[in-house]
Amino acid sequence: MRWLRRLFAAILLGGQVLIHILKFRFHYNNTLEQMRMVGPGSILITQLISATVGMVFTIQVAREFISIGAGSAVGSVLLLALSREFAPVLTAVVVAGRVGAAFTAEIGTMKVSEQIDALYVLRTDPVDYLVIPRTIACCTMVPILTLMAIVTGMTGGWLVATAIYGLSSKEFIESVQKALSDWDLTCATIKGVVFGALIAIIGCNWGLTTKGGAKGVGESTTAAVVTSLLAIFVSNFFLSWFLFQGTGNLRL
């Protein structure tokens, strides 16, 4: 029941954040600081994971496609897999584990140490000062990290396809060009924005509702990460269903 109450509170917090953002009520310096934490601080691990995923996916796909004479489709399939699913989801998972947990732990510590109450005494809204900068930072940087992950994953796949399976660079690049579309990149960006908002709002809400001292902070951090991952996977299903309706138009 407590988890459901916190989930309902997170939904209300999301609506409150949206209203405050539309009114341009946020702290500029805090926002820049959080953007540096979310973006540059997560580049190395997200790009390393995307490169590894691109290489492993190519290993699994290339040999099967080559065996049926469809080696020219390897680049297309890799691009679609990365742009539509792997890059947005894996980037969000990494950010949820690294940044979302930090949000909950930091704000949770402020809550149990009564620093949140001090903000009210100073007539500072915790939503404006703590939540909105983190939400804007995640909604801005997660899509950028996602697009970078697509490029890195494609580079890793290209290296494997050409070095291990003997596909020519020209054949691989032409395959990518056939599958590349503005809509797929737009959808990856949309997913990044939604996932970033979920990570920030859930992380901040679980921090603001923390009770029970240091033990409560640890429990809230764990619960926030698990809830964020659940929200990412559930929302990914509905976003994919909504964004990719109708028949495909891939040219192999």
Sequence spans of domains, the chain: 27-241
Question: How far apart are alpha carbons 74 and 63 in whole angstroms?
Answer: 9
Tens digits of per-residue pLDDT, 91-150?
999 999 999 999 999 999 988 888 888 888 888 888 888 899 999 999 999 999 999 999
Residue 63 clears pLDDT 90, i.e. is over it:
no
DSSP result, 183-207: HHHHHHHHHHHHHHHHHHHHHHHHH
Are the C-beta atoms of residues 150 and 82 closer than 8 Å to each other? Answer: yes
Confidence at 250, pLDDT banded by 50, 70, 90: low
Are the C-beta atoms of residues 105 and 207 closer than 8 Å to each other? Answer: yes
Q: Is 207 exposed, middle or buried (0-12, 13-18, 19+ CB in 10 A)?
A: buried
Q: Per mean pLDDT, which range of 81-90, 211-220, 241-250 is the poorest?
A: 241-250
Q: Is 34 exposed, middle or buried (0-12, 13-18, 19+ CB in 10 A)?
A: buried
Q: Which residue has the higher pLDDT, 76 or 245?
A: 76
pLDDT of residue 246: 65
Question: How far apart are alpha carbons 61 and 74 in whole angstroms?
Answer: 7
Are the C-beta atoms of residues 99 and 199 closer than 8 Å to each other? Answer: yes
